[in-house]
Chains A and B, each alone.
Chain A
Amino acid sequence: MPIPNLQISDSVGAATYHSCVTEQTTGTSFMAYLSPAVPMQLDSVIFALLPGTGIPRTLGARGVTTGDDRPAEPVLMVGYDFPEQTAAAVSKTVQETRDVDAFLRDAVPVGRVTRDSRTNPSDPPDVLAHIDGSEFGIEATQFVPPDSELDKSNSIVGRWMAFERFRDKVLEQDPYTLSQHRGLLTVMHFGRSSASPNQRLPPKPANLGSAIAALRTAQPIVRDGSAAAAPEHESDVIQWSSDRSIFFAWTELPFWYASPFRNQMGFELALGYHATITRSDLRAELRRVISDHDNRKRKHSSSLSTRPCGPGCSSQSTGQSPR
C-alpha cells in the first residue's frame, strides 16, 4: 500500500498545526487541522487508511503536555476520523445485548457461556448473562473520548448526533442537486479552524438549510500529482463557503466503497473536526460514566463493561448514543 506524505507545519502561531496528507499515486488530496488545546510536545503522528486506498480513516497526533502549571501527561490530538456504519441502527437494548455478547466472547473461555444473554426486563442491570450455570448482571455502556473544550450544553456525542441530523437532511435532497460530489468523499469542517470549539459544531436545526445550500454551491477540488503532494495555497485543496463558516475538502472514493449514504447520494459525507484529549480528560470521563451506572438502583451484583470508542470507531453512525 502506498504511504501518504504527511506534512505538519506550524502555520498559525505556536499552537496550531496545519497538516496535509496527500496520496500521489491515487491522485487524491486531503486536509485536516491539528490544533492542540493545551501546550504539548508532539511525539508521533497517527493515521490509518481505508484499506487499499490513500484515504485517511483516522488522523491524529500524540505527545505529552508541557508547561509549568500542570504535570506532564499523555495527550492525543484528533484531527479527523471517519466513522463507518457497519450495521443497521438498532434499539438501545439490542445494542447493549450485542455489546455484552461481544464482551463475553472475548472475556469468557469457550464453552462456559451456558445460555444466551438477554435484556433484563427489570433493568438495571442492563443484561443478564449465564456463565457456568450462574446468572450475572452486566451494565453496558459505550465510552466516547470527551472533548473538554466543549461547554456542558455541547458534547462530543452531541457533535456526532448533530452531524447525523445533517446527513439525514442531505439524504432528503435530490441527488441530482449534489451531483458534483459524485464519486467523492466530501469532508465538511464547520467553523474556522481558529474558532472556539463551540463554534466548530455541525449546524443546529435552524441552520441546516444554509449548510445544505453551501454543499450545493461547493465545487469540488481534487488535486493530483505534485499539486496534491505539496499544495502552495490552502485554496489548492480546500474550499470555503461564501460566508466562510464551512470549508470542504474532497478526495476520490474507491469504486468498491459502499455505504447506505453513498448508495443513495452517489458520494460520502464526513465530518472534519479536531479535539484534544488528555489522560486526565479520559479518567474524568471514565469516572463520570461509572458513577452514572453506580448510582442506579440494582438488584444484582453487577459488572460494568465499557466499550471504548476511539478515533475511527465504527459505532458513531449507528445512531446509538452512549449512556
Chain B
Amino acid sequence: MIFEDERPLNGWLPTHIKRVALHNQTRREVKWILGSNPWAS
C-alpha cells in the first residue's frame, strides 16, 4: 500500500535528509519518495 501511495509524505519534509527511497527487496522495486535518483543518468 505504501508503494501505491502517491503522496506518502503528504507534503511533509525532513530538515536534513534530502532523498528518501523505498526498496522492496523481494520485488526489486525502488521508489523515490523524496528527491530524485541521483544515479539515474
> For residue B29, which residues in chain A have a CB less than 8 angstroms away from its CB?
106
Choose among A103, A107, A132, A291 the residue that contacts B14 (Cβ–Cβ < 8 A). A291
A214-225 interface bits toward B, Cβ cutoff 8 Å, 1 = contact, 0 = none: 000000000000
Count, chain A residues at interface, CB 8 A: 37
**Which of A7-15, A33-41, A247-255, A282-290 is the interface stretch?**
A282-290
Q: How far is the CA of A110 from the CA of B26 in the complex (A)?
A: 19
Q: What 0/1 pattern do residues 3 to 41 of B give for CB contact below 8 A with A? A: 111001110101111111111111011100101011100
Q: Does A102 contact B (CB under 8 A)?
A: yes
Would A301 and B18 be within 8 Å (CB), given that A107-B30, A277-B1, A282-B1 are in contact? yes
Chain A residues lying within 8 Å of B24, measured Cβ to Cβ, are 307-308
Q: Residue of A at shortest CB range from B26? A: A314
Which residues A283-323 have CB closer than 8 A to chain B?
283, 286-287, 290-291, 293-294, 298, 301-308, 314
Give the interface centre of B10, B12, B22, B23 by most chain A CB atoms within 10 Å: B23
- Count chain A CB atoms within 10 A of each CB in B12, B15, B18, B20 and give the residue with the most: B20
**Could you say which residues of chain A place their CB within 8 Å of the CB of B26?**
314
Interface of B is mostly: loop
Closest to B27 in A: A106
* Residue A143 at the chain B interface, CB threshold 8 Å: yes
Q: Is A96 an interface residue (CB 8 A)?
A: no
Query: Does A109 count as interface, using CB distance less than 8 angstroms?
Result: yes
Most buried by B among A62, A277, A301, A304: A304
Q: Is A131 an interface residue (CB 8 A)?
A: yes
Residues of A within 8 A of B16 (CB): 294, 298, 302
Please, how many angstroms separate the alpha-carbon atoms of A149 and B39 in the complex? 40
How near does chain B come to A79, taking the closest CB pair, in angstroms?
Answer: 16
Evaluate contact between A308 and B2: CB separation under 8 angstroms.
Answer: yes
Please state if A62 and B25 are interface contacts (CB–CB under 8 Å): no
Report the separation of the CA atoms of residues A106 and B39 in the bound assembly, to the nearest whole angstrom: 11
The chain B residues found within 8 Å of chain A, CB to CB, are: 1-5, 8-10, 12, 14-26, 28-30, 33, 35, 37-39
15 further contact pairs, Cβ within 8 A, besides A107-B37, A306-B21, A307-B22: A74-B1, A131-B39, A279-B1, A282-B2, A286-B9, A290-B9, A303-B18, A303-B19, A304-B19, A305-B20, A305-B21, A305-B23, A307-B23, A308-B3, A308-B23
* 22 A-B pairs (CB sep. < 8 Å): A62-B1, A106-B23, A106-B25, A107-B39, A282-B1, A283-B9, A286-B8, A286-B9, A290-B9, A294-B14, A294-B17, A298-B16, A302-B17, A303-B18, A303-B21, A303-B35, A303-B38, A304-B17, A306-B22, A307-B22, A307-B23, A308-B22
